Structure formats: structure tokens, C-alpha cells
């Protein structure tokens, strides 16, 4: 069942409530390293994940999904073809340009996929800079730039795609043509768990089924900040944190999102 219920702006509280009610089918064409963690994160959040990345099926499945994630972490030939199919289905989708810049295959694919106008681009600062042509990329999947360094690059990508760009960092930036939001909070332990950022992109894709792109990116970033803080407060390291983080995604209540994390929004004129 396709669930695309809202074109009106919503608060993170309203968006999470809508996601829990709809349990949207979310297609993930994603990094082979993170499929299990991503699927579990979506299930904990209240969405319904499907890792459908086979050419000949991916485009069909995208047509019935509420949102689609295209993550370039391990872009095999089959995944590249599946991504090309999925982004033409008309379903709102997220591009996660993992490690673009120095690596030629994924970089070329990321630029090709930009023409299909992703609703959201989510990446770290070095990835966003490289995708916008303003940098050479980071150190593999690790950023070597701050989120604020990528603000102008993010704005240029919103102009090109007409969508939203989410830059992950110590303070996350959510940018569209007219607004910039900053989400503070969260735990650094997220960076020690494989799949923390990739699953964030999947959460944004699931939220695209129930709320506009800017609100979907903002809501997912706030959820990640709150859940990671709570998980970190009761764990001792990466292993227990990963389990606790999934628990906190499941336990988080919509009302929690307006209380724990500060969101600053500025209007671009």
C-alpha cells in the first residue's frame, strides 16, 4: 500500500505520530554492511522496511513504497541498476552519497542520480561538499569538514534539485530553498556504530510518506538526537549502545521531540 498522506508542514511530534499510524513501506537500496541495522531501526521506529534492490523488481517496488532510500555505500552493478529504476517511479526518495568525491564509480552515479531530483540528500559535510563540486570528499565514509563548512554547498544542491539537504555533524543542518534548521544534541557514540548515519537516511525516507521533505529530514534528525542521548546515558560503549539505541527508537514518544533538542530555524531571503 502506498502511503503519502501529507503535503502540509508538520512538527516532529506530528510527523512521528503520523509515521506510527501509517507504518509506511520503505524501500532501502542500501549499503550491504548496514542492512540489518537499518531494517531494525525502521522497525523500531514504526516503519516497514524492505531491502528490495534487484533490477527488474526495484522500480516496481518503488511504485508501491511510501518512500525510497538510495544509499551508495556498496554500489554493486546490480544496485546501481536498481537505483536507476527506483528513482524513476515517482515516489519521494533520499540520496545518501556515501564516500563520494575520491571514488569514481559512486561519484559518477551520485551526479547522475541528482538529475532525478531526490526529495532529500543526506550526508556528512565532506560528502555534501564533494557532491556540490566544492570538495574532494572525506576520508572514506568519515567527514573531514564541519557541517557549517558545507552550508553553501547544501544550498547550491537545493537549488539544483528543488529538494532538501541534510548535513550530519555535531550540529545537524537541514536546508531547503528558504530555510535552514540546526538540530543540536545527540551522542558521539552514534559515530562508533556501523549504520547510524545510513539508518538515519532510511528514517528520512520513511517519513517522506507522511510529511514534506524538510519536515521529514528535520524530524529524523531530532529523533536520532533524542534516542542517541538516551541510549548513551545508560550504556558503556558501542556494543551496548547499538542495542540501547534501537530500544530508544521504539520507546520514544512523539511529545518527547519538542522538549529535548533545540532546533533553530532561519529563513533565507
**Nearest to residue 147, comparing CAs of 132, 121, 128, 119?**
128
> Is the pLDDT at 2 greater than 50, yes or no?
no
State the burial class of residue 98 (Cβ atoms within 10 Å of its Cβ: 0-12, 13-18, 19+).
buried
Mean pLDDT for the stretch of residues 185-207:
95
The CATH number that domain 13-267 falls under is: 3.40.1190.20
Q: In this predicted model, what pLDDT tens digit does every residue of 48-69 receive, in sequence order? A: 999 999 999 999 999 999 999 9
Percent of the chain scored above 90 by pLDDT? 83
Feature table: binding site: 51, 122, 168, 195
Feature table: binding site for ATP: 122, 168
* Distance, CA of 48 to CA of 91 (rounded, Å): 16
State the burial class of residue 4 (Cβ atoms within 10 Å of its Cβ: 0-12, 13-18, 19+).
middle
Q: How many CB atoms lie within 10 A of CB 165?
A: 31
* Distance, CA of 122 to CA of 259 (rounded, Å): 24
Q: Could you give the count of Cα atoms lying within 13 Å of 41 in the half-sphere of its Cβ?
A: 28
Contact 135, 156 (CB under 8 A): no
Feature table: binding site for substrate: 51, 195
> Is the pLDDT at 121 greater than 90, yes or no?
yes
Q: In this predicted model, what pLDDT tens digit does every residue of 7-31 receive, in sequence order? A: 555 899 999 999 999 999 999 999 9
> Is the pLDDT at 77 greater than 50, yes or no?
yes
Amino acid at each position: 500500500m502506498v502511503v503519502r498522506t501529507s503535503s502540509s508542514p508538520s512538527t516532529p511530534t506530528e510527523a512521528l505520530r503520523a509515521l506510527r499510524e501509517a507504518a509506511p513501506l520503505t524501500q532501502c537500496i542500501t549499503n550491504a554492511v548496514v542492512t540489518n541495522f537499518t531494517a531494525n531501526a525502521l522497525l523500531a521506529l514504526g516503519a516497514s522496511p524492505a531491502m528490495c534492490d534487484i533490477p527488474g523488481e526495484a522500480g516496481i517496488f518503488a511504485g508501491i513504497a511510501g518512500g525510497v532510500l538510495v544509499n551508495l555505500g556498496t554500489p554493486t552493478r546490480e544496485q546501481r541498476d536498481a537505483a536507476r529504476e527506483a528513482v524513476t517511479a515517482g515516489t519521494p526518495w533520499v540520496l545518501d552519497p556515501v564516500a563520494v568525491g575520491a571514488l569514481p564509480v559512486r561519484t559518477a552515479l551520485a551526479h547522475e542520480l541528482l538529475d532525478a531530483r531526490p526529495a532529500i540528500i543526506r550526508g556528512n559535510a565532506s560528502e555534501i561538499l564533494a557532491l556540490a563540486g566544492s570538495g574532494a570528499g572525506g576520508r572514506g565514509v568519515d567527514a573531514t569538514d564541519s557541517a557549517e563548512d558545507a552550508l553553501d554547498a547544501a544550498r547550491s544542491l537545493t537549488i539544483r534539485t528543488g529538494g532538501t539537504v541534510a548535513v550530519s555533524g555535531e550540529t545537524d543542518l537541514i536546508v531547503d530553498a528558504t530555510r535552514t534548521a540546526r538540530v543540536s544534541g545527540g551522542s558521539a557514540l552514534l559515530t562508533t556504530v556501523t549504520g547510524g548515519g545510513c539508518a538515519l537516511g532510511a528514517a528520512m525516507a520513511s517519513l517522506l510518506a507522511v510529511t514534506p521533505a524538510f519536515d521529514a529530514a528535520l524530524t529524523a534528525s531530532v529523533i536520532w538526537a533524542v534516542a542517541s542521548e538516551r541510549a548513551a546515558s545508560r550504556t558503556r560503549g558501542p556494543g551496548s549502545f547499538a542495542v540501547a539505541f534501537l530500544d530508544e527508537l521504539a520507546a520514544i514518544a512523539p511529545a518527547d521531540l519538542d522538549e529535548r533538542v533545540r532546533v533553530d530555524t532561519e529563513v533565507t531571503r
